[in-house]
Chain A
């Protein structure tokens, strides 16, 4: 397909502005750019066709089943788009929060933030939450900074280490480093979970915090988590909960009750806000008693029927300029109010039911990576098939040919030839059955005609792309 720049014709344009109704003003030439930026010169229909055609070379949840493990690709309800577009939300200027003079103009937004933060805290058994962090990884960084602030305040200057399991998402160690910590990896046991003895071996007084995902990225609940929390708390280390997999347990158990001190939520996962080709997301941070004084500020507070802003005395400060990805939070709030108490509990129940159903239907054709019961996602290893020449990536590509998005492959790094399948609760039994039938068919083809998988995909707009060439002949912009 052509680039938009290749469709440019000198003098053509889409948008016009009204004729200037004031005299034209000019800046001194030395402050001005030499030439106008070389933006494409195209008509509105050129732009509309171009991006429509691009969209047709893409696949989203609204098109097809998207079982991308760890990403919780559930249906994004349309009502959430409608409410986020209401002018009373979409058109609020963020500096309407900067001056008390304007506080009266944003009472609805403050009420929403206040209620949403309280609901998030309640759902996870935390004392409070802040919607400032902009995505999951930003929430992790915020959490790590909160841990650092706590230890600084307590004079724990020797605490310089954060423990993460080897199955952790890459953002966990990267966030800990950005917050100034050294990272020690603790290996998972062969059963896919953390064992207390391996954990004890790396636990010492230098440990400032421990970052866990639960269920972990193997799809398994960390049954020893409460004991690990005790061990951490014995040396005044804090326990961090990566909320990427909250969809598995929402309404069933709460990180706060398990002993976690701090966490992030992925509103774009658990609470169904659209993933937008990779973002925007929203990664609120939640804290228990210990970290309450350090929360990012300013925060919305409620006195005598009026909402206003206050910054906690020991706050780490602003992690976002204002209220993070506010319009994403608006969508999540609408979603939570729609489902409510009973509905949210059913979310995790059916998410876990669906993953277990896929596991039950596929377990004889694909080797489950672990023998323990899976929660909201099931993880297989295509190692047996790979030994015969059909790799996890080949299964992924063959699924594309059959109209599905692929599962997550090659993550977590702890599982060889990993296929990580997360169906979510919004898929019907027919969809799951059709997908399982396809997977079983692919398992058969892997034995009988492996080249069908190895040569896939053949029905997509392009075939497998040369990534080595992309990195070698680096071309990242049409200049």
Chain B
């Protein structure tokens, strides 16, 4: 058995003497006797070495080294070494919420810089310190829009990730939200759109934004941060709320998390935004410092009237995103977007045996209809070392032959050529 408890037997006795208790058991006397635990089925403890071996065994039963074309909202981007090295500093990752700002300036300034980076990326005016992930951020945006517009209808554009739609419906199951599909803002609190769409299609939602505003509805844009190295930003399209999945900004894929829920809005709505917000101020000597601000929106003050229940957020992920964006910089983000887009276009052009399903241009992901069942094809490609993409039927977004293929900067021309060949072999034979 291992333990990180330093207290020796003799120290325990000394401490009990100071407390005036005969045994540690006595300290649990407020638990009524019938409920004191008799036994449970928990395995015996292990040494650190055995834990490591056990975990290596479990990790070894997973495939994490295939050449991946899986996307669907989560992307295999390169994470620069600086991200782990800096976010791994224990002054960051073993701290908690900056309740004492004087000893948390590292956290608070990094949140402020993260908020600034998100605003610059999206062309919005205010960002919060993070939400859980892209899906919950979209739900929070819908709730925020309902609160602002004082209407219950939430219009979901077909571009939105179907998993997000499921999450929206689960979260709002007991709220009187009226979800409709389409793009008609009349009588609605908001229209939720995603750009690029789940199938990778890039659109300009500026006109829809104008229609929303004419109908006094909000435009909520769910975005893919890396694409903003190239495509029109939510702010440029007139979005009132921008939300996104920040996984691509330096987070490991990690089988679903931890990720990063991004949210930004316009100045007029900041008091209705959920989540923590860091603001700049000064101390009595006029030194610049940062604090959590506008806390009257939050659960610890407003309880039932709070904008959200969120307490712990994804602060360390926001720090990773900030470091990532600083390391990439202005030119780097553009180069990254160009690489992703160009490589995806190169691959798309090679798949002449498949039908491209997108309505318009795409960024780094596209949907194809194969000549045969996508499950069969992906299984065959797995044997050749590829994760060939997402069979769309499995996520309720297409037919059995449809496959969603994503390309990041990590894929080389040789890999794209090999993949195109292997896909053709598998799908046409």
Contacts and interface: CB of A to CB of B under 8 A. Distances in A.
Contact of A137 (B12, B21, B311): B311
Interface stretch (A231-239, A323-331, A383-391, A442-450): A323-331
A94 B256 contact: yes
B102 A464 contact: yes
A276 B196 CA distance: 31
A318 interface: yes
B22 interface: no
Given A20-B342, A373-B30, A470-B279, A337 B54 contact: yes
A312 interface: no
Interface stretch (B151-159, B180-188, B288-296): B288-296
A62 B291 contact: no
A59 interface: yes
Contacts of A221: 30-31
A252 B37 contact: yes
22 contacts: A32-B231, A38-B120, A42-B326, A63-B94, A76-B94, A99-B378, A105-B63, A105-B387, A134-B136, A179-B175, A180-B176, A317-B166, A317-B167, A320-B256, A321-B133, A360-B20, A425-B7, A462-B102, A464-B284, A470-B291, A476-B270, A476-B278
Nearest to A47: B326
B299 interface: yes
Given A101-B379, A181-B174, A274-B93, A68 B99 contact: yes
A346 B361 CA distance: 60
A253 B37 contact: yes
A137 B299 contact: yes
A92 B257 CA distance: 10
Contact of A108 (B60, B74, B278): B60
A40 interface: yes
B116 A319 contact: no
B306 to A, nearest CB: 5
Contact of B90 (A62, A94, A178): A62
Nearest to A166: B303
Contact of A149 (B21, B173, B256): B173
Contacts of A42: 326, 329
A174 B303 contact: yes
Given A109-B62, A252-B36, A92 B254 contact: yes
Interface string B1-35: 11111110001101110111100100111111011
A352 interface: yes
A89 B30 contact: no
Contacts of B330: 36-41
B286 to A, nearest CB: 10
B51 interface: yes
Nearest to B195: A31
Contact of B329 (A39, A58, A138, A462): A39
B325 A27 contact: no
A277 B92 contact: yes
B68 interface: yes
Interface centre among B86, B106, B228, B341 (most CB of A within 10 A): B106
B312 interface: yes
Contacts of B319: 51, 277
B309 A47 contact: no
Contacts of B74: 93-95
Contacts, number: 704
Interface residues of A, number: 205
Contacts of A62: 90-91, 94
B91 A55 contact: yes
A105 B382 contact: yes
B117 interface: yes
Counting chain B residues whose Cβ lies within 8 A of the other chain, the interface size class is 35 or more
B100 A400 contact: yes
Interface string A406-430: 1010010000000000000111110
Contacts of A95: 70-72, 74, 390, 395
A467 B291 contact: yes
B52 A82 contact: yes
Nearest to B15: A357
A155 interface: no
B391 to A, nearest CB: 5
Contacts of A251: 37, 40
A123 B342 contact: no
A249 interface: yes
Nearest to A193: B30
B384 interface: no
Contact of A86 (B55, B97, B104): B55
A365 interface: no
A338 B48 contact: yes
Contacts of B219: none
Given A33-B232, A93-B253, A325-B258, A73 B346 contact: no
A207 interface: no
Nearest to A462: B289
Contact of B82 (A47, A81, A106, A352): A47
B327 A279 contact: no
Contacts of B68: 93
A314 B219 CA distance: 33
